[in-house]
């Protein structure tokens, strides 16, 4: 399970040898830990195109205050004369480029002009967040320029190196994107890079559950249900939502036994041993949640790999049933019973295999693509009127017992074939889930967010 190559390249002889041989040099990623500042350096706020996004400077200033960084917000600051300057204060930990006003190809030159001189100075594990506008269907020049930002960001993510990430957020309003900006500027998004996220859903004026009172525990007073919680990614999700203040109902198959009980006890939550494919699974979830549910995390999943020519009907159906049909059935039951409260959050686990396909996984990829279809259909409708969002996370190569069982060569390829040259950790998926579950993330709806270090694999 341990990534020995990553450990080796973290040593002095490892760095020397891998550099001489031209081998991948994964950076040690800066992840969240209690007490450590969310930004270890200043934040550089740049603009390309005119006019910029109203209120962005205020949102960034609040983000900096929350991040408890020693350095300040640098607005439209001139680049350091010597880009390679090594002193702390000169190296921004993050760059936010407001490119929402880029409305034609000429204005794209300002994107180059803004970032080209400052990139070298961005700190290790730093963040580059480009803000774009939704494509205007009535203006093909604007649509071309804004879509160009996507090719730009995905390319920059592949070349920037040193654990730094690059993200494109498409938004229309800085205020509704605050929780999203905080996530992508923080160590919590360490393994999310090269992705495009739309933050454009209209948010109901008032979430009945109310705004979080403690910004460090935004889920206080809320209840979350996590399926497949006994281990791996599910356990990390349960822990992270509990850290953020939620009361967590930990669901897993009865065979998970004492491990599930211990986790729930440690988190001050509830253990719910239950086979989600059972006919009465939805009804039992409803019964276990008499006071309602705020955050529903569909994480449970299985694999039964075979090429289609060798795949039995049983292997096909078991994967489709656990990973997709039971998600549909239990979601419907929780919605029909009114258990999921207004302002609720549904987060389902998709997979890169569901986006790109994978040899030997027609069943698994079908089930995970089905999750994407579920999100796309369910997000914009009646639920949105009640402030409920429906999103998916799509993990790439994550270090778990499941991936530890993958043959060495394929495992090594999975680990290195991404822009960060390493596998992710379960906590990376959990942090992404926590951002989507945040009460302030109501403008993020219908998104499929890859947590993959910008894996090369895709569609």
Per rule CB under 8 A, is residue 384 in the interface with a second copy? no
How is 238-283 classified by DSSP, letter by letter? HHHHHHTT-EEEEEE-GGGHHHHHHHHHHTT-EEEE--TTSTTHHH
Q: Does 191 qualify as catalytic in the annotation?
A: no
7 or 312: CB nearest a second copy:
312
Site for a second copy in 254-293 (CB under 8 A): none
Q: Which stretch binds a second copy (CB under 8 A): 219-227, 237-245, 290-298, 376-384?
A: 376-384
Q: What's the CA gap between 328 and 334, in Å, rounded?
A: 10
Please measure the distance between the N-terminal and C-terminal CA atoms of the chain and give it in whole angstroms. Answer: 28
Please say whether the beta carbons of 42 and 72 come within 8 A: yes
Site residues for a second copy, window 158-217 (CB under 8 A)?
A: 158-159, 194, 196
Nearer to a second copy, 441 or 454 (CB): 454
261 versus 275: smaller Cβ distance to a second copy = 275
Nearer to a second copy, 139 or 206 (CB): 139
Decide whether 70 or 359 has the Cβ nearer to a second copy. Answer: 359
In order of 14, 44, 80, 259, 381, the CA distances from 94 in angstroms are: 28, 6, 15, 40, 36
Token pair 């290790």 is at which residue?
124
Does residue 385 touch a second copy according to CB under 8 A?
no
Under rule CB under 8 A, which residues in 69-88 are in contact with a second copy?
A: 83
Give 104's DSSP letter. Answer: S
> What distance separates the 2 farthest-apart alpha carbons in the chain?
67
> Would you say 19 and 71 are in contact if contact means Cβ atoms under 8 Å apart?
no
Site for a second copy in 440-459 (CB under 8 A): 456-459
Measured from the CB atom, the residue of 296 and 378 that comes closer to a second copy is 378
CB of 347 to a second copy, least distance (A): 15
Binding mask 95-134 for a second copy (x = CB under 8 A): ----------xx-xx--xx-xx--xx--------------
* DSSP-derived 3-state class of residue 51: coil
On the 0-12 / 13-18 / 19+ scale of CB atoms within 10 A, 435 is buried
One-letter-per-residue 3-state SS of 352-398: HHHHHCCCCEHHHHHHHHHHHHHHHHHCCCHHHHCCCEEEEEEECCE
**Which two structure tokens, joined as six digits, stand for 356?**
């790109």
Rounded to the nearest whole angstrom, what is the least distance from the CB of residue 323 to a second copy in the complex? 10
Closest CA to 204 of 453, 441, 4: 441
The one among 6, 56, 374, 392 contacting a second copy by CB under 8 A: 374
Distance of closest approach, residue 67 Cβ to a second copy, in angstroms: 26
Q: Which of 402-431 are b and which e, b meaning 16 or more Cβ less than 10 Å from the residue's Cβ?
A: ebeeeeeeebeebbbbbbbbbbbbbbbbbb
DSSP structural state of residue 216: T
CB of 57 to a second copy, least distance (A): 25
As a whole number of angstroms, the distance between CA 100 and CA 95 comes to 15
Q: CA torsion sign, 436 to 439 to 445 to 446?
A: positive
Interaction with a second copy in 130-159: which residues (CB under 8 A)?
135-159
| Given the residues 183, 364, 397, 435, the one annotated as active site | 364
- CB 178 to a second copy: min, Å: 26
Looking at beta carbons only, is 222 or 345 nearer to a second copy?
A: 345
CB of 159 to a second copy, least distance (A): 4
- Beta carbons within 8 Å of 27's beta carbon, 6+ residues apart: 124, 125, 161, 162, 163, 420, 421
Q: How far is the CB of 328 from a second copy (least distance, A)?
A: 6
Identify residues 307-366 at the interface with a second copy (CB under 8 A).
307-309, 311, 313, 316-317, 320-321, 324-325, 328, 353-366
Nearer to a second copy, 138 or 258 (CB): 138
Q: How many residues interact with a second copy (rule CB under 8 A)?
A: 81
Closest contact distance (angstroms) between CB of 410 and a second copy is 13
Site string for a second copy, 394-433 (x = CB under 8 A): ----------------------------------------
User: Considering the rule CB under 8 A, would residue 369 count as an interface residue with a second copy?
Assistant: yes
Q: What are the residue numbers of the active site?
A: 364
């Amino acid at each position: 399970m341990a990534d020995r190559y990553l450990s080796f390249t973290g040593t002095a002889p490892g760095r020397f040898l891998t550099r001489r041989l031209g081998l991948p040099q994964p950076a040690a990623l800066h992840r969240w830990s209690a007490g450590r500042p969310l930004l270890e350096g200043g934040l550089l706020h740049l603009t390309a195109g005119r006019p910029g996004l109203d209120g962005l400077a205020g949102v960034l200033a609040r983000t900096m205050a929350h991040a408890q960084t020693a350095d300040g917000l640098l607005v439209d600051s001139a680049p350091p004369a010597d880009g390679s300057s090594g002193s702390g204060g000169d190296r921004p930990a993050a760059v936010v480029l407001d490119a929402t006003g880029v409305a034609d190809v000429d204005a794209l030159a300002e994107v180059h002009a803004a970032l080209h001189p400052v990139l070298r100075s961005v700190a290790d594990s730093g963040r580059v967040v480009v803000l774009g506008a939704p494509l205007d269907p009535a203006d093909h020049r604007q649509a071309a320029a804004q879509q160009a930002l996507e090719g730009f960001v995905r390319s920059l993510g592949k070349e920037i190196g040193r654990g730094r990430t690059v993200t494109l957020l498409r938004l229309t309003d800085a205020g509704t994107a605050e929780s999203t900006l905080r996530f992508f500027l923080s160590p919590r998004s360490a393994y999310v890079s090269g992705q495009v996220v739309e933050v454009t859903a209209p948010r109901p004026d008032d979430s009945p559950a109310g705004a979080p009172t403690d910004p460090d525990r935004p889920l206080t007073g809320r209840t979350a249900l996590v399926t497949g919680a006994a281990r791996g990614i599910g356990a990390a999700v349960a822990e992270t939502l509990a850290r953020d203040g939620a009361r967590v109902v930990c669901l897993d198959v009865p065979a998970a036994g004492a491990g599930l009980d211990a986790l729930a006890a440690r988190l001050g939550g509830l253990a719910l041993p239950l086979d989600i494919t059972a006919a009465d699974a939805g009804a039992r979830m409803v019964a276990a949640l008499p006071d309602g549910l705020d955050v529903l995390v569909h994480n449970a999943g299985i694999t039964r790999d075979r090429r289609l020519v060798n795949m039995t009907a049983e292997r096909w159906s078991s994967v489709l049933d656990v990973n997709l049909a039971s998600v549909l059935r239990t979601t419907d039951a929780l919605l029909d019973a009114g258990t999921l409260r207004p302002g609720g959050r549904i987060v389902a686990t998709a997979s890169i295999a569901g986006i790109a396909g994978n040899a030997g996984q027609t069943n698994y990829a079908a089930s995970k693509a089905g999750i994407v279809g579920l999100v796309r259909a369910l997000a914009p409708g009646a639920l949105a009127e009640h402030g409920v969002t429906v999103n998916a996370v799509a993990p790439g190569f994550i270090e778990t017992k499941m991936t530890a069982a993958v043959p060495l060569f394929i495992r090594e390829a999975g680990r290195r074939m991404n822009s960060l040259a390493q596998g992710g950790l379960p906590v990376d998926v959990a942090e992404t889930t926590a951002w989507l579950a945040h009460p302030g993330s109501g403008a993020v709806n219908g998104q499929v967010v890859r947590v993959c270090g910008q894996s090369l694999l895709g569609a």
